[in-house]
Amino acid sequence: MGAMPKKGLGGKPVIMARGRQALLFIHGFTATPQTLLPVAEKLAEADFTVSLPLLPGHGTTPEDMANHSSRDWLNAALDAWDQLAAVYPNPSVAGLSMGAALALHVAINRPVPAVVALAPALYLRDWRLPFIPIMKYLAPWKQGVGNDIKGSLFREETYQRYRLKNIQDLLKVMKTARQGLARLTVPLLGIQSYEDHVIPPSCLDDLMHWAGSRLKEKHRLKDSYHVITMDNEYLKVAALMEDFLVRYMPAVK
């Protein structure tokens, strides 16, 4: 389990170098690559090289994240794929929550062979959202949203608070992903729990409806919450991802 240091998370990018088939795996809002490690390690055991970048402003302090924007995160995702593709041919891309929206953005703008969206953050449902432009000045800090985990195997390292301004950045990432989905053409795997307290479960259904991909697969989990890479069914998530990637990633020598 990951403990929360008082002054910051000390997050860092992770690369699990194995075979020539590579996957860019992107973490979510206020989190770090640590959130993805249980699934990433299983994929590495299956001989995938897995790259887990650290998004700008994450893994440090909430104050640092407040200095970054949606554009930083969108560009960082594209840059991470470009760097991986310079070493490994045709990497696929995956992500959790906001990381799934970023993964979709990469798949729309780069020649990836396949994309995996876990608990995809495409929109939020909260009556308070229209008031953020005002509230970010009156009550600038908001309690963190991490550790929506049903089981007790893992604990997510994530910020315990964040600037309300960053919710606007999150919404911009979601909007960018939504607006590009009609142009998505590569095979798509989507996985989400029926019981997700962070991202509306309907996001998975809408992703399947809005995506332009001809090959689309959808799976629902019954014994997990939002952080499905650390929850009771993380092994199932890893197995579904492995099966999907083996089928749709080209063989590389």
User: What length does the chain have?
Assistant: 253
Q: Give buried/exposed letters for 189-210 (b at 16+ CB in 10 A, else e).
A: bbbbbeebebbbeebbeebbee
Q: In CATH, what is the architecture of 14-248? A: 3-Layer(aba) Sandwich (3.40)
Residue 213 has a pLDDT of 97
216 vs 252, which has greater pLDDT? 216
Q: What is the reported pLDDT for 131? A: 65
Kindly report the pTM of this predicted structure.
0.92
The lowest-confidence range among 3-12, 52-61, 133-142, 196-205 is: 3-12
* pLDDT greater than 70 at residue 2: no
Residue 10 clears pLDDT 70, i.e. is over it: no
- Please tell me whether residue 24 adopts helix, strand or coil conformation: strand
Please state whether beta strands 216-221 and 188-193 pair in parallel, antiparallel, or not at all (unpaired): parallel
Band of residue 90 on the pLDDT scale cut at 50, 70, 90? very high
CA distances from 36 to 45, 100, 211 (A): 14, 12, 24
Q: What tens digit of pLDDT does each residue of 113-166 get?
A: 999 999 999 999 876 767 677 767 767 767 777 789 999 899 999 998 878 889
- 244, pLDDT greater than 90: yes
pLDDT at 4 over 50: no
Q: What is the pLDDT of residues 169-200, one digit of tens each?
A: 999 999 999 999 999 999 999 999 999 999 99
Q: Please report the pLDDT score of residue 146 as a whole number.
A: 75
Share of the chain above pLDDT 70, in %: 91
Q: Is 24 left (phi over 0), alpha (psi -120 to 50) or beta?
A: beta
Q: How many CA atoms lie within 13 A of 23 on its CB side?
A: 31
CA–CA distance, 106 with 99 (Å, rounded to integer): 10
194-215: per-residue pLDDT in tens?
999 999 999 999 999 999 999 9
> What is the overall mean pLDDT for the chain?
91
CA distance 183 to 211: 7
pLDDT for the residue numbered 136: 72
- How many whole angstroms separate alpha carbon 228 and alpha carbon 104? 18
- Cβ-proximal residues to 233 (8 Å cutoff; 6+ apart), any chain: 193, 221, 222, 223, 224
Amino acid identity, position 248: Y
